[in-house]
Amino acid sequence: MRALLLLVLLAAADRAWEQKEFDCERPKSCDDGRCCEYGLAVFTREKAGVDVKEVKAVGQVDAPPSRVFEVVTDYEHQVGNMPYVQDQAVFSRTEKDVTFWAIADFPLVSRRDWIVKSRLEKDLPGGAYRAAWEPTHVEGAPAPEDGVIRLRVNSGSWTMEPIDGGKRTLATYQLLTDPGGSIPTFVANKANTKALPELFARVRKRAEAK
């Protein structure tokens, strides 16, 4: 009975957190009333049980959702296309999911790598697309190199919603990741938001290319 009550309380707490509003991180007004910078609205919120904050960024892309989806799920070609990524490898890909590894040299922290499984969802209600990832284990995957920390907390998503009759996209990026290592929380939080403008700039550049 106690175990059941605990599960109910945990579920209620999780729902309450999901309903918690994100706090504006960029104190500049946008046309839609949200705070933004570089045409990008950036928000953060606390996550129960984790020291770092979850981040969310919302921006528009002058390309259809299907094209933006192709760009953000091109896990085979992240080097040169995604900020700070130095190498990547795809272990498996199907129509529904992709399992891959990547390593990056982020600002403010030393190199990190991760292995995640990204779930691919196309033609959702309203014509939206979504890719959401979680850490996973791959049998036989190499251990991190010396001086590289493997991310254990690394979940997030891209959601692409059509606007202007499907000609353009409202893209929402969410990420909860803990860099690990002996990094102060405020440094980790800054590192998690620092690359967002560049990330969206890279996605826009590829998606909008004719």
Full 3-state SS string of 44-60: EEECCCCCCEEEEEEEE
pLDDT of residue 187: 76
The model's pTM is: 0.82
Enumerate residues 6+ apart whose C-beta is below 8 A from 187.
108, 109
Angstrom distances, CA of residue 47 to CA of 5, 23, 53, 145, 209: 22, 12, 6, 30, 37
Count the Cβ atoms, other than its own, within 10 Å of residue 149: 16
Cβ-contact 26, 193 below 8 angstroms: no
Does pLDDT of 166 surpass 60? yes
pLDDT of residue 186: 77
pLDDT of residue 33: 42
Q: Hey, where are the domains in the chain?
A: 22-208
Q: Domain 22-208: which topology?
A: Alpha-D-Glucose-1,6-Bisphosphate; Chain A, domain 4 (3.30.530)
Q: What is the mean pLDDT of residues 66-92?
A: 97
If pLDDT is split at 50, 70 and 90, which confidence band does 2 have? Answer: very low
Q: What is the mean pLDDT of residues 83-112?
A: 93
Average pLDDT of the chain? 83
Q: What is the mean pLDDT of residues 81-101?
A: 97
Angle at 69 between CA 64 and CA 71, to 5 degrees: 100
Does pLDDT of 13 surpass 80? no
pLDDT of residue 22: 55
In the chain, the largest separation of any two C-alpha atoms, in whole Å, equals 61
Of how many residues is the chain composed?
A: 210
